[in-house]
Chains A and B, each alone.
Chain A
Amino acid sequence: MATLIEAKDLRKRFGAIQAVDGISLSVSAGEVLGFLGPNGAGKSTTMRMLTGFLEADVGSVQLAGIALDADPLEARRRMGYLPEGAPAYPEMTVRDFLMFIAQARGFLGSEASRRVDGVIERIHLQQVLGQTIDTLSKGFKRRVGLAQAILHDPPVLILDEPTDGLDPNQKHEVRNLIKEMGASQGKAIVLSTHILEEVEAVCTRAVIINKGKVVVDETPESLMARAPEGSGSSAMDVVFRSVTSGDLEEAGQ
């Protein structure tokens, strides 16, 4: 399998805080990597470095074979990104916004409309097309963010909390879409989430970070297997707590 995301020893410091402290990730085509960690563990900062929004103090990123610092535009063309909170221009209608993204991604004329129509159908945005983004519910806003990220069918997807604010039906739908993009379209996908069951449901790999460092990198199944017997459906929670709260972690080792 081709490696589509290759991050080596990423480090980022904000003032006195070492937000990300040497994170390396390598994600192959077809992999869906669930990025977990407590608030402030450095998830968003890491994702921002993967997309080039933040420059790493140390370390390098390659997206689909292109080094981010050597050719940022080409690397960005191969990547779709849903930033934290799914930001979008509130005064624009959904259709205008997606057309802007399509044109900014270099699609011209009818090709741009074709791309936008395609993604509208895939994400089921037909009913809000003419609405301005500030009138959308949180769920629809998130889906517009997802739509702009996959519009150009990139090999690499970085999604910061793609299902946050969705209702259970929408969550189910978006998870299926992500699974499909990984399994049958061979994309490399990194998604961050707070919902542990989501990792079980869609991810082929779980990475837990804590205090800017990777503490777990394995399949969701083997992660579950770490839990003491009898923890049942909360197995994931038990493991998450034990690897991210310092005391337990040290006690366990």
Chain B
Amino acid sequence: MRRVSVVFRREFSSYFATPLAAIFLVVFLFLASMFAFNIGGFFDRGQADLRPFFQFHPWLYLFLVPAISMRLWAEERRTGTIELIATLPLTMQDLVLGKFFAAWAFTGLALILTTPMWWTVSFLGEPDHGVILCSYLASWLTAGSFLAIGSAISSLTKNQMVAFVLCAAACFLLLLSGFSVVLDFFRGWAPNMVVEGLSAIGVLTHFESMVRGVIDLRDVLYFASLIVAFLVINTAVIDWRKAA
């Protein structure tokens, strides 16, 4: 745990050593509120809830998360610092977890900075705070899943652009497979099992059920297993080809 926290602290503070943190936070806050007000019809709905705000989060993460995750390992490979950290008395697991948690905490910070939206609806009406809390959790878990995927992909290359594009593509597929338009396309002719399966692996299915305010253990398990699976892959890849 101590070793993970050493890596975590270095990684987390590294976001603020460059303009990356500021740019990410500004873009995230700007887009998240713009979508909520302009496309989601936050005011027009006349309801005191944050549905129009949260429903666009997975789509925002689609390109904002790869922007964070692309550098996680590709940068270490490019600058050669991987040789330094891999020969310190730290395990690969310490490094993978420290980096992942730092990135996840950073997206958590971005979410915390959106709480003025929450104060606003509380001021305007009487929202269901449980639902909002649950939505925040859903959003954070989605970001975490995308980050784990991005971290694993970043560990495969020393080229950050490659890591960005592959991660965005992987997350897009994961989003699409739960999207109702895609599901409807299959529903007409494919066996029910295929449609159910696609919907079960899709992020949106689980995200939307949590945003409705229901914490179903299956949804939480879905996100948790995505994160764990990709971090295990990440560790294996780094162990397998440290020098590549």
Contact = CB atoms under 8 A, between A and B. Distances in A.
Q: Verify that A and B bind, or say they do not.
A: yes
A105 B89 contact: yes
A130 interface: no
B84 interface: yes
A53 B80 CA distance: 12
Interface stretch (B3-11, B22-30, B42-50, B125-133): B3-11
Contacts of B10: 89, 92, 100
A87 B243 contact: no
A222 interface: no
B84 A100 contact: no
B242 interface: yes
B89 A88 contact: no
A118 interface: no
Interface string A67-108: 000000110110101011101111110001000110111100
Interface in B1-55: 2-3, 6-7, 9-10, 13-14, 17-18
Range for the number of chain A residues in contact with chain B: 20 to 34
B83 interface: yes
Contact of B87 (A53, A84, A90, A91): A53
Interface in B74-119: 79-81, 83-91
Given A48-B243, A53-B243, A87 B91 contact: no
Contacts of B3: 104
Range for the number of chain B residues in contact with chain A: 20 to 34
Contacts, number: 66
A87 B79 contact: yes
A89 B15 CA distance: 12
B86 A53 contact: yes
A51 interface: yes
Contact of B81 (A48, A84, A88): A88
A22 interface: no
A54 interface: yes
Given A90-B79, A92-B17, A104-B7, A54 B88 contact: no
Contact of A104 (B13, B88, B242, B243): B88
Given A100-B10, A104-B3, A83 B84 contact: yes
Given A89-B81, A90-B79, A91-B18, A76 B88 contact: yes
Q: Give the most central of B14, B17, B86, B87: most A CB within 10 Å.
A: B87
A76 B242 CA distance: 16
Interface of B: 2-3, 6-7, 9-10, 13-14, 17-18, 79-81, 83-91, 242-243
